[in-house]
Amino acid sequence: MTFYAEQPLRRALQVAGDLGVVAWTVVWVLLARAVHGAVMAATAPGRRLADVGTTIESGMTDAGATAAGVPVVGSRLQDPFDRVAATGEQLRQAGDGVVDLVGTLAVVLALLAALVPVLAVVVPWAGLRLHYARRTGSVRLLAESPGGADLLALRALAHQPPERLRAVGPDPLRSWREGDAAVTAALADLELGRWGLLPRHTARPALA
């Protein structure tokens, strides 16, 4: 496969297009990261709620353990602390739930922000570039094979606009059929140029 043209201007345009797609991708990835960061900022209340719940749960559990050591009434003294500790655990779980939910939402929104515009450009661009690479590679291989000039000339007769064909000669089809080497070479080079490849078959006039 041939990914880039041999003609300088066309190759420069292809490189510029590829760099443009890369720049487009980078911009949307950076925007997606910004979206992720902005949404993740909303986890702050959930984290604070989880921290408060953890503090209450830990403190009340320790206090209940201490109260449980009091002779005779220890178990009764421990029960209120355990109930408050359970409330703290619920607060912690609620805060963690908020953090997890917002974190998942941040990831989903960031992926959508990046993938939708990136894929909308990259998928058709990749298809066009691969199509060009395959077709140009086959044309290049044909140009370097024996008898390739005749086949390229035939393709030029089928695909080139009439004004370009007339520039080769007054009746290029007839000349090609009669085996005119100069016309065949010129037609082959026209087909190569259609794919951004440099001439290979231009015939030189015979010396007298």
pLDDT exceeds cutoff 80 at 30? yes
Can you give the residue ranges of every domain in the chain? 8-136, 144-208
* Cα–Cα nearest to 32, from 100, 120, 106: 106
- Of all residues in the chain, what percent carry a pLDDT higher than 90? 64
pTM assigned to the model: 0.73
> Which pLDDT score is estimated for 144?
86
Question: Using CA atoms, how far apart are residues 183 and 153, in angstroms rounded to an integer?
Answer: 8
Contacts of 44 (CB under 8 A, 6+ apart): none
151-198: pLDDT as tens digits: 999 999 999 998 989 888 889 999 999 989 999 999 999 999 999 999
Tell me the C-alpha to C-alpha distance, in Å, between residue 195 and each of 6, 20, 91, 159, 204.
9, 21, 67, 12, 23
Under a CB-based contact definition with an 8 Å cutoff, are residues 175 and 169 in contact? yes
pLDDT exceeds cutoff 50 at 107? yes
pLDDT exceeds cutoff 50 at 42? yes
